[in-house]
Chain A
Amino acid sequence: MDRFKQALPALVVLALLIGAWWLAVAATHSVIFPTPWQVISGAAELAIDGTLWQHIGASLMRVGAGFLLAVIVAIPLGLWMGWVAGAYAMLNPLFQILRPISPIAWIPIAILWFGVGNTSPIFLIFISSVFPMIVQTTVGVHTIEKRYLRAAANFGVSRYTLFTQVVIPAVLPQVIVGMRIGLGVAWLVVVAAEMIALRSGLGYMIMDSRNAGNRYDLVVAGMIIIGLIGLALDGFMRMLEGLKFVRWRYAH
């Protein structure tokens, strides 16, 4: 009941927005812009013939592959850069230059290098999510409180114990923040990448619907589905923040 009360204002805003949308389409007698109902029935049509699930699956697969690759690269690299001052001095300037380049700007190069198959969007997702995760992991190592490192030194533990029981758990909350940012960016980018030159995915579905007969009901349906899946992905990452061994770092 309390949760419902909390969500109520947001639901009211959504309902008002959908109502206004409906009224505006009805009032202007638009033949191209769909009503909310047309969007729902269009999406249902694709869901029933199965193509919607194929597009969703294709997008999620690309995000999953690119993001996982980025995690595998970013976390060890971030730990190394955080721990070893020389590595930080060597690599940080390079990453600070690469980081502000929009992943969209990489699209031509991605097509040149990898063609128009699955590799291009996976590469773009990798590029977009790897930097935020490296940065957050590095920051995480740099902000480990000295008193914990001192305690570890005091107990004279091995380097292995120092890393597995102090450094990595201390950094984990920051890593999760980085993963949340990284996954968010990855989801943004996959749709953009699929708009360019592919035959599957939610981005492709949007462009294809527009090109093949102005099916704006499917364009809007695609946008809403992208939003909902993004919300679900973020919700999943936030569940990681609730794990008992990382919760100390976030607000209680």
Chain B
Amino acid sequence: MRTKIEVRNLRKSFASNGSSLSVVEDVTFSVRDGEFIAIVGPSGCGKSTLMNMIAGFTQPDQGAVVIDGVERNKPNAKGIHISQQGSVFPWLTVRENLMFGLNGHAPANKTELADHYADIVGLKGFEKSYPHELSGGMLKRAELARALVVKPEVLYMDEPFSALDALMSLRMRNELLRILAKEKHTVMLITHDVEEAIHLADRIMVLSPRPTRIQASFDVPFAHPRKLSSPEAQELRVAILRELGVNSYGD
């Protein structure tokens, strides 16, 4: 498959108390079209900074992000970013939120598209609800639908489900897989949850502590639906945790 995203020698440092703190140090990798890539790393290692640069919100000090052969320096609707805290507009209804990015479409078509995607994520009947009337899980669904409705080529997900409880988080993972099976997007997921990464991703990259580099990369060759309790999945989990410096058996 062809290459979708090329990350070339990205570096970023921030000024702190007069000295410069290097956060991302020489990160290079590429993502194939339609690939689901997960990035795990210790907290505070610069995962989010890395993703902000790839999504175009932050400019790297050095290096470049090339998407479809074109260097990117600004965010656009071809790659939608979904963060942990979420950014569904509280002053718009679910339908209005979903219609937000659809400016090029004819008005009648907009409503139709919005309602279609609300249906896909399981929000049928809540199109006219305001976000404060929804639960945390439903808000995530709305955010996901708002991203999907503009038919982005890439989804950038920065710990999207980590504010949800364990059960809802698992449910949202399954929803995401169900949707991705129908609409093939390229996905970059940042997570600190190794199981989540194994559940979802085609490839898992482990980042080092700050200043961060790619420390290891694992292919996840299991077919969906995945059984996380299988010996192979457990073996992979142990290997990834070892890279993160955690001994999973306590021995």
Contacts and interface: CB of A to CB of B under 8 A. Distances in A.
Partners in one complex: yes
Chain B interface residue bracket vs A = 20 to 34
Contact of B75 (A154, A165, A172, A247): A154
A167 to B, nearest CB: 11
Interface residues of A, number: 23
A176 interface: no
B89 interface: yes
A155 B85 contact: no
Given A245-B130, A247-B132, A248-B131, A147 B77 contact: no
A248 B75 CA distance: 27
A158 B83 CA distance: 22
Given A147-B83, A150-B81, A156 B91 contact: no
Nearest to A149: B87
A148 interface: yes
Interface in B124-162: 130-132, 150
Secondary structure type dominating chain B contacts: loop
Given A169-B92, A246-B91, A150 B57 contact: yes
A79 interface: no
Contacts of A161: 100, 103
A150 B77 contact: no
B150 A155 contact: yes
Contacts of B103: 157-158, 161
A50 to B, nearest CB: 45
B132 A157 contact: no
Contacts of B85: 147
A147 B87 CA distance: 6
B221 interface: no
Given A147-B87, A148-B87, A155 B101 contact: yes
Given A147-B83, A157-B100, A247-B132, 20 more contacts: A147-B85, A147-B87, A148-B87, A151-B81, A151-B89, A153-B74, A154-B55, A154-B76, A155-B77, A156-B76, A157-B101, A161-B103, A169-B89, A170-B91, A244-B130, A247-B130, A248-B90, A248-B91, A248-B131, A249-B90
